[in-house]
Amino acid sequence: MIKTDKMSNANKPATNALLKQAHNNMPMGVADSYRYWGEENTVFVKSSLGCTITDADDQQFIDFRLAYGPIILGYRDSRVDQEVVAAITERGTISGFSTELDSEVIELIKQMCPNIQKMRFANSGTEAVIGAVRTARGFTGRNKIVVVEGGFHGLYDEMMWKSDVDNWDSETEAAPKIAAFGGGIPEASREHLETVPLNDFTAIDDVFARVGDDIAAIVIEPILGNCGSIASTQEYMQKLRDICDANGTLLIMDEVKTGFRVAKGGAQELYGIHADLTTYAKAMGNGYPVAAFGGRKEVMDVISFGKNGVTHGGTYTANMIALSAAKATLTILNETNAYDSINKAGADIQQVLSRVFTKHGIEHKFAGPDAMFGIHFGNQVPHNYRDWKKTDSALYTEFAHNLINSGIMLEPDSREPWFICESHKDIDLAKLEEIADAAMAKAIADRL
């Protein structure tokens, strides 16, 4: 059993020294803005293994954050790492040319995902989305892209216009304002972006009635990976498929988080509805940086040289480290019972948490699949991002911080799911329940 003990080193001298040094070298003292949790709580990891991480002060955590979802088997999975080492030793890391790994990985993906006929690789989810959107525009000759509130499609200008639900006054405003997600984003980048609420049939009909002749694609996470795993209804996904078919618009499913995590065929396997283009990353390589986008042959074949061809490339695209990791990870997921272990662990953990919440009289609902479930404090599963605003997210944040202080790592924001990997099958559920019970008791007491 993997057990967790209460953090024993609250002063964190090594972490404090590292953060002080880092402030001299990086804005906010971190390499990624989301890694800055304040001067008291920013984490520096020294090692990771299975489903645990150990910080610079030797405090160990059971990790349900999993680097925002890439870890599907476990940190430092030897089956994957050995294949990467072999690839480096035998092939090198990068050549700027093609290798047999390119087609081997895609053919493996095609076995798992019948929505894929042709693919191209990328290095991150952001790059994959850029490639898919550009391809959709090239294929249709249109400009506009429809996105769904609460979805996250990468950190590039066009996709960084968001519904500002945090600052939305639902009593006085009909809808949240659309705002840039930070500075440095020009207003012009919003020109061709349309935003609609999830599961809202009227809104999707309205946007197609207004600008349908210029809509190149709808881009959607069928299960919102940055909004507590709030899911599209079956009827809504069918609505999108039907309206795209009727309008000559492409349906792009962003499966950067759900792909190879929630099922072999991702969310599309769960819904039984296929996209024209799909983006993948994260769990595809069990933590190695690899991504891809692909779909229908006739759509992907607009990627070509020439005046009207869509351009796609990248120096590090399809490097041997990334593809050997993807091949090993996908082979394990495709040929073993890893998904059974992952889903059982996720279901067992939800049962533990539900007992704790019920004991303390907290109304709660779980959303999404067992491999990446969201927790919402309230009496109903949110139907969309606006409904999330009605949940008791402040209580969740207090509960999450208490868990972290006791050795359970997660993102202290209910918009981030709990990610489960194969290694979670070995955690001590009784100890988790004890820690969660104390964490919720403290969160409630601190409100009084």
Residue in 205, 185, 217, 198 with CA at minimum distance from that of residue 150:
198
How many Å apart are CA 293 and CA 279, to the nearest integer? 4
Reading the block at residue 268, the tokens are 């599309």
pLDDT band at 170 (very low <50, low <70, confident <90, very high): confident
How many Å apart are CA 222 and CA 237, to the nearest integer? 8
Question: Letter for the amino acid at 384?
Answer: N
Strands 277-280 and 178-180: unpaired
Q: Which residues, 6 or more positions from 158, have their beta carbon under 8 angstroms from its beta carbon?
A: 133, 145, 189, 190, 192, 193
Q: Mean pLDDT score of the chain, rounded to an integer?
A: 96
pLDDT at 84: 98
pLDDT band at 11 (very low <50, low <70, confident <90, very high): confident
How many Å apart are CA 375 and CA 361, to the nearest integer? 15
pLDDT at 3: 45
Reading the block at residue 282, the tokens are 């994260």
Delineate the domains of the chain, giving CATH numbers in brackets: 1-63 (no CATH), 78-335 (3.40.640.10), 337-397+427-447 (3.90.1150.10)
pLDDT at 144: 98
How many Å apart are CA 46 and CA 248, to the nearest integer? 51
CB 238 within 8 A of CB 270: no
Q: In degrees rounded to 5, what are phi and psi of residue 380?
A: -150, 155
pLDDT at 10: 67
What mean pLDDT do residues 252-260 have? 98
pLDDT tens readout for residues 216-252? 999 999 999 999 999 999 999 999 999 999 999 999 9
Query: How many C-beta atoms lie closer than 10 Å to residue 82's C-beta?
Result: 12
CB 438 within 8 A of CB 358: no
| Residue 303 DSSP one-character state | B
| Residue 94 DSSP one-character state | -
How many Å apart are CA 384 and CA 363, to the nearest integer? 18
Residue in 209, 271, 197, 263 with CA at minimum distance from that of residue 237:
271
* pLDDT exceeds 90 at position 307: no
How many Å apart are CA 429 and CA 436, to the nearest integer? 10
How many Å apart are CA 157 and CA 218, to the nearest integer? 17
* pLDDT exceeds 50 at position 4: no
pLDDT tens readout for residues 310-354? 999 999 999 999 999 999 999 999 999 999 999 999 999 999 999
Residue in 373, 383, 444 with CA at minimum distance from that of residue 414:
373
What mean pLDDT do residues 272-298 have? 98
* pLDDT exceeds 90 at position 304: yes
Reading the block at residue 341, the tokens are 């272990």
How many Å apart are CA 379 and CA 363, to the nearest integer? 5
| Residue 263 DSSP one-character state | S
- Please tell me the pTM assigned to this model: 0.96
pLDDT band at 308 (very low <50, low <70, confident <90, very high): confident
Q: In what order do the strands lie in the sheet with 277-280?
A: 118-122, 291-295, 277-280, 250-255, 215-220, 144-148, 193-196
Helix (H, G, I), strand (E, B) or coil at 273: coil
Q: Which residues, 6 or more positions from 302, have their beta carbon under 8 angstroms from its beta carbon?
A: 135, 138, 139, 308, 309, 310
How many Å apart are CA 76 and CA 54, to the nearest integer? 13
Question: Letter for the amino acid at 164?
Answer: D
Question: Letter for the amino acid at 419?
Answer: F
What mean pLDDT do residues 48-54 have? 98
Question: Letter for the amino acid at 90?
Answer: E
What mean pLDDT do residues 359-364 have? 98
Question: Letter for the amino acid at 128?
Answer: A
How many Å apart are CA 198 and CA 385, to the nearest integer? 7
pLDDT band at 306 (very low <50, low <70, confident <90, very high): confident
